[in-house]
Structure 1
């Protein structure tokens, strides 16, 4: 079996056309529409006169004496900027900014107040105002400059929010695509419902753990039914991580489906796969692989490999033999040759396949775990009376390794019952 752990307009000219922008919003049109929210008539008149005397810019000013009237105007009229007094009959303080920004979040606001406290000004800006004016320093050029800066800042903020929204949508799309790719990669793994009957027929059991480091990755393991009393097991690992490595996984999995191994000559299969990948992979990309054929009638394992981490053959007597997996990784040299190796595989024997994350992950001391740590974990995992337990070994690994694990992790235990 296989298991897996209302206001009045102060200007009666015709309604202006929308503000013109050039060069990404750095130049203004001839007319700017201003909503002046000020309950003190003298101050309102002073600001209006100052703006009308500003050269090179025409301001169309609408006056509101209360926040309620201002909100009504914003709901029915297009304005370019709001000049906002923070001491109104129906609202006062920084809350006035908040209420106006909640109603018209994309309209720039310049605060006007008699409070010269810098901390108060900072709170107004944090509440959403784009600029700040202290009454008494409200000459035409000063107010006009504050208006222009506020409009430009709001335009920049809106563009930034649009960009952030676009990036978030793209990230959501990418996450959905990665989730789909992850599901497809996991679908390549042997399925217990399909594999278990054949494994039970041959007197085998399989435990497996598979986890790509970045959602999808370059590792894969699998089984190949070779007929009669023979079954194949493979594990491979592509260079790199993420999408490019995962695409190569699909490539090699497809090739293995097209070139089923000769049960007596897995080395020939690696030669064919290497030749095919040599013309498909980009420079610097390659795969290590182990391909073994277990013959339960001959009590024998024949295998060939291309630089993959050497599996551990675990004897019923507690012995541990690391198999030789020397060989040129697939995809590096078109004329690479591979060799078959054989070893007895009687009842009670098991095989531990793993990816290089088991030995090359960083330990708590900052150094790679290495072969010595693997040997210790194997001896501990085989020490109990029930024999080797994959869960025990993985628990040891996760205790010893520094997190997060930065490589794809594959671990497979094949036991001959």
Structure 2
């Protein structure tokens, strides 16, 4: 039984006018730097390529501890794709042409040819907006808008606030150096420039932004896949039109709320008509959140409706599912579950539990409520678990409420939780209101949402079933 639920036009030769051209458009946050006084320390970030071991090269090529105990694993820059690195667009902003040409000559000699230039601070801002560089080499002391002003304006623009900025200066006092970092510079290099130092800093910042670009692309792709998984998991849960139709067939008013948390979760619930008098209902909550918990819901759902399962005996059914899940689930993962059968002919609710929340059965008069026994060994812990089939009357003037642990374990706005006595009072106040017995799940949900933060850290599931008077039954 199955149910669905970049031309590299650089600055011309010395003495000629500036030529401003560009090509690529890649944005990335500035690399991480640690500033102490007038010095800035840089941490080289490993790239994904560097994090793989070349097995064919033999064990001697594997990263191994040095004499100091620090890993000698290669850092970013040793294996970074040079073509991608050299395509990066670099803006050189300096009011002195000879200074611009010196920096440009150093960069060209190292393979960087996609260079653009600015003569002052205002020109630098214009070039940033038009050409969107990947890195800026910025002189601090310039006429008009100086390097401090350029940094402030760039960092104030959400579109460009993360461009790496290497400030260059001849200032010797610490105050000026500290200020440029406060205004948004990523790094600082002193004049007269040392070619090797400049190129090393340029490389590490570009490598870092390339890595961040790759991580952002991976994050975006993963996010798309998570949205798809979220939608697929929602398909495991009955739609309102389905459970209402099934409810009418059995003389029941069924109401439900199912809200997945901000992450993928592990809650599912469902219905299974067994025959004209008996309707099965289940509620499952896998431990944890995220992809692992969501995958486990699909694992369980694929097992639940095997033709070999005894769906008519809740205890035996849970024992069978438990053995199969124990074989499939990684160590430390498990599920809590309730599986029950509403027998309309016998006016009984038979059920078995694997450490589920306690089902609540009560009278529509708002006076009599009983928290049923939800004890049992969670599914997937041990093959030897046994599950008792329990039963309780399910008369025409009562209701049954099933719920996930989010209802009773989420702190309310007053810092407390919906413990049994408080939940009992909530149900009583709802039931004694005029029309309170109608759509009970929605009314309990409204109370819960009114008293808790909207952003839940766990899936929230709540189902109520109430008998109706149906002709012919």
Q: Which of the residues 357, 377, 399 maps onto 1:350? A: 399
Larger Rg: 1
> Where does residue 99 of structure 1 map in the other structure?
126
Question: Does residue 334 of structure 2 align to residue 303 of structure 1?
Answer: no
Q: CA deviation at 1:206?
A: 1.1
Q: Which of the residues 390, 405, 416 maps onto 2:456? A: 405
> Where does residue 120 of structure 1 map in the other structure?
146
Name the TM-score, length of structure 2 as normaliser.
Answer: 0.66
Distance 2:402 2:91 in 1: 73
Q: Is the 8 A contact 1:82 1:108 kept in 2?
A: no
Q: Is the 8 A contact 1:219 1:238 kept in 2?
A: yes
* 3-state secondary structure, aligned to 2:325: helix
> Where does residue 376 of structure 2 map in the other structure?
327
Q: CA deviation at 1:85?
A: 4.5
Name the TM-score, length of structure 1 as normaliser.
Answer: 0.74
Deviations along 1:243-291, one digit per CA (max 9) or x if unpaired, are: 1111111111111111676464211101101111111112221111111
**CA spacing shift, 1:96–1:299, aligned 2, 3 Å:** same
Moved more, 386-395 or 102-111: 102-111
Moved more, 334-343 or 188-197: 188-197
> Where does residue 416 of structure 1 map in the other structure?
467
Q: Is the 8 A contact 1:84 1:109 kept in 2?
A: no
Q: Which of the residues 244, 255, 258 maps onto 1:207? A: 255
**CA spacing shift, 1:25–1:124, aligned 2, 3 Å:** farther
Q: Is the 8 A contact 2:94 2:142 kept in 1?
A: no
**CA spacing shift, 1:261–1:202, aligned 2, 3 Å:** farther
After superposing on structure 2, the runs of 4+ consecutive aligned residues of structure 1 that deviate more than 6 Å are 34-40, 80-83
> Mapping of 1:68-107 within 5 angstroms?
79=113, 85-86=119-120, 94-101=121-128, 102-103=130-131, 105-106=133-134
Q: CA deviation at 1:192?
A: 3.9
| Cα-Cα RMSD | 3.8
**CA spacing shift, 1:95–1:317, aligned 2, 3 Å:** same
Distance 2:253 2:309 in 1: 22
> Where does residue 443 of structure 2 map in the other structure?
392
Question: Does residue 18 of structure 2 align to residue 9 of structure 1?
Answer: no
Question: Does residue 157 of structure 2 align to residue 132 of structure 1?
Answer: no
Distance 1:309 1:295 in 2: 21
Moved more, 216-225 or 164-173: 164-173
Distance 2:372 2:91 in 1: 81
Moved more, 240-249 or 309-318: 309-318
Q: CA deviation at 1:241?
A: 1.1
> Mapping of 1:222-233 within 5 angstroms?
222-233=270-281
* 3-state secondary structure, aligned to 1:162: helix
Q: Is the 8 A contact 1:266 1:291 kept in 2?
A: yes
> Where does residue 157 of structure 1 map in the other structure?
205
> Where does residue 374 of structure 1 map in the other structure?
423
**CA spacing shift, 1:59–1:409, aligned 2, 3 Å:** closer
**CA spacing shift, 1:210–1:83, aligned 2, 3 Å:** closer
> Where does residue 49 of structure 2 map in the other structure?
none
Residue-pair matches, total: 357
Q: Which of the residues 285, 308, 314 maps onto 2:362? A: 314
Q: CA deviation at 1:327?
A: 1.1
* 3-state secondary structure, aligned to 1:288: strand
Q: CA deviation at 1:210?
A: 0.9
Moved more, 266-275 or 191-200: 191-200
**CA spacing shift, 1:286–1:262, aligned 2, 3 Å:** same
> Where does residue 234 of structure 1 map in the other structure?
282
> Where does residue 341 of structure 1 map in the other structure?
390
Moved more, 236-245 or 98-107: 98-107
Distance 1:37 1:223 in 2: 68
* 3-state secondary structure, aligned to 2:247: helix
